[in-house]
Amino acid sequence: MLISREFSFAAAHRLPGSSGSCERLHGHTWRLRVTVQAPVGQDGIAFDFRELKRVVEERVLKQLDHTYLNALVAQPSAERIAQWAWKQLANLPLYEIRVWESNDTFVTYRGEAEKST
């Protein structure tokens, strides 16, 4: 079973060396979807939505919301933010993390780098 919850946070960043306007300081209202994978238990629940919210808020959102992302994540592209969030949530049965930089642009990460190390 795949269980997902979406969140949002506001943060600024810049991408030094990037072509175009992304090199300058700017902000986004980011969206984050965390998906875990677990079997359905005897109680009919695979993973508690409230627990997923608690963990993501504690380990990810408290660090990202209303911040300058460059101070926390090197070259904080949506891709790097997804990788960073994956590491913060590594003790969950993660399946996928999706990060939206805008309404129609997002990345999907499934821990590829971590699986090969």
Lay out the sheet containing 105-109: strands in order across. Answer: 67-68, 2-13, 26-37, 94-102, 105-109
Judge whether residue 117 has pLDDT over 80: no
User: Which residue in 23, 51, 96, 101 is the catalytic one?
Assistant: 101
Q: Which residues pair with 89 in a beta bridge?
A: none
Q: pLDDT, tens digit, for every residue of 73-96?
A: 999 999 999 999 999 999 999 999
Q: Which CATH class is domain 2-116?
A: alpha beta
The DSSP-derived string for 9-65 is EEEEE--TT-SSGGGS-EEEEEEEEEEEE----TTS-SS-HHHHHHHHIIIIIHHHT
Whether 6 is catalytic is no
Q: What is the dihedral of CA 96, 97, 101, 102, to 10 degrees?
A: 50
- Where b means 16+ CB within 10 Å and e means fewer, 53-67 reads eebbeebbbebbeeb
Whether 58 is catalytic is no
Whether 51 is catalytic is no
User: Which residue in 6, 13, 22, 51 is the catalytic one?
Assistant: 22
Q: pLDDT, tens digit, for every residue of 39-57?
A: 999 999 999 999 999 999 9
User: Which residue in 6, 13, 58, 66 is the catalytic one?
Assistant: 66
pLDDT attached to residue 115: 53
- Which tokens is 67 given? 């911040």
* 77 alpha carbon, distance to own chain's centre: 11
Q: Is the pTM of this model over 0.85?
A: yes
